[in-house]
Structure 1
């Protein structure tokens, strides 16, 4: 009776036992090290150019403005001073502005996502025949608009003047963010998932809520951050359509504080030179404090969304 020999099993070889192969492993040359060093220096220089202005504003806001004016403040605060922040927060309108801006930003961003994501999902479905026409109409509004006066008259007829909803409803959807979300749904959500959902009896709404949304955390974070920053920095809406001080957002309140201090500084021009210099220094410190107060929440929020932002910001890029 003949027997069949079993195939020999090759013994496992650890990585440290693999002999050196010049075709798979190449030693780094001097030119490779030079290129790496040049790239590292360029990255450091770019980071310094971007980060240093913000760092200087933070340092200057806590420094003696006499030293700042003389160019003695560069990296670290000198003559620790918080007079600028005291002047800013002494104005009770600052808290009203913060409350209003947080309300407009949170509610506005939530509405933006509720409107943008379903619209982008619908426009990404091939079986939705009018999608190209609707997308064209959306895109048309990116390039052509009525202007400030027609918008003002329209908002007046709609009762949105001196109404907090003027910060929310007119900008409920951004066409740019809509296109980004649509590209994500088309390129990153496999169609096989929809086929499987149909077999399981899920409707379009169920498929969108139970499958698409959980897989779209990156795009939700990206466009959510875009919307959040847009609402937070919006001062033009309050400048044009809001007259009631109790509805002004933070950016408009900070603008009024800056203008008031500049007016006081200009009005003191007839006084002594030393007094004018002191008022100018206070105005400068208030300016630095206003910048920090208006940007600090965004700086705090961004690190938590950075991993989603880095992943989603390349959505729609050409892939090889």
Structure 2
């Protein structure tokens, strides 16, 4: 009996080791699949693009050059673009939270009788829009064309972000807590500021990440509504202009021509990817656990 039990334990331990080994191999494979493209962009941005196109750049940079970064950093527009983008990200995200969180709280209240009807108006905008031309005419009529504020106020409330914030508050903050606070003379505004927000740090972190990433990556708004006013262009449109300029050089329309021109344009392209994504990649690890929690809230309980 003891021998049989010992055999079962050994078999179980063997199966556990096999399972653990399979999990480790799968994890390493997944990490390589995700990390290698990022690493390749880094090494390609400082390698000779002809070597990259010939498949000679695999793990380490070859014939190191910094032409791409040099072209970007020597352009004075890049600093203006960075400053503008930081302004749009910080101010825009703060205003997004100021509007989204109180709206989510109001829509989560069971004593707000019209909350379902109001929520339907928000959800309707996720599936139907008035179209680009009417939107442009509306923005023009209020004088926001070529105005810096259009980059901040364009998406003041995102419906998906509103839904996950409302769902979090509705499922996390019990109504009994408000009733207890109400007995002490607590108003809705006081309850929101002193109870709901301190208990909603997870969803606030998710909202900050969502809105900040949107403002950081938003180039279509600038493309459509800023009329190419240089002093209000965000980083993304500045990088796009630099990239298009170097592509035209590569095609023989500027001072750099031929194969060297294409090589230089490719280096600029890779450098543009690095410059535009590194700040967000540096921020993401600090809010990753909140990000995953927010995604599950929106996916499972929306």
Common topology (TM > 0.5): yes
CA distance in 2, matches of 1:211, 1:26: 51
Shift, 1:316, TM fit: 4.7
User: Structure 1 length normalisation: TM-score?
Assistant: 0.86
CA distance in 1, matches of 2:230, 2:101: 34
Aligned to 1:111: 95
Q: Paired residue for 1:282, among 264, 272, 284? A: 264
Aligned to 2:81: 97
Gaps of 5+ in 1: 1-21
Of residues 192-201 and 84-93 in structure 1, the stretch that sits farther from structure 2 once superposed is 192-201
Whether the 8 Å CA contact 2:250–2:257 is kept in 1: the answer is: no
Aligned to 1:140: 124
Aligned to 1:304: 286
Whether the 8 Å CA contact 1:94–1:250 is kept in 2: the answer is: yes
Shift, 1:67, TM fit: 2.6
CA distance in 1, matches of 2:244, 2:191: 52
Q: Check 1:166–1:317 CA distance in 2 against 1; reply closer, same or farther (3 A cut).
A: closer
CA distance in 2, matches of 1:221, 1:310: 11
CA distance in 2, matches of 1:231, 1:255: 16
CA distance in 2, matches of 1:211, 1:228: 25
Matches within 5 A, 1:214-253: 214-243=198-227, 244-253=229-238
Whether the 8 Å CA contact 1:181–1:219 is kept in 2: the answer is: yes
User: Structure 2 length normalisation: TM-score?
Assistant: 0.91
Shift, 1:174, TM fit: 0.3
Aligned to 1:5: none
Whether the 8 Å CA contact 1:268–1:276 is kept in 2: the answer is: no
SS at match of 2:280: helix
Q: Aligned residue pairs: how many?
A: 293
Q: What's the RMSD between the two structures over aligned residues?
A: 2.0
Gaps of 5+ in 2: none
Aligned to 1:6: none
1 or 2, which has the higher helix percentage? Answer: 2
**For residues 19-70 of structure 1, what are the alpha-carbon distances to aligned partners after superposition, in whole Å with 9 as ceiling and x for unaligned?**
xxx7xx9663433332332232222222211111111001111223333233
SS at match of 1:315: helix
Q: Check 1:316–1:148 CA distance in 2 against 1; reply closer, same or farther (3 A cut).
A: closer
Shift, 1:249, TM fit: 0.9
Higher Rg of the two aligned structures: 1
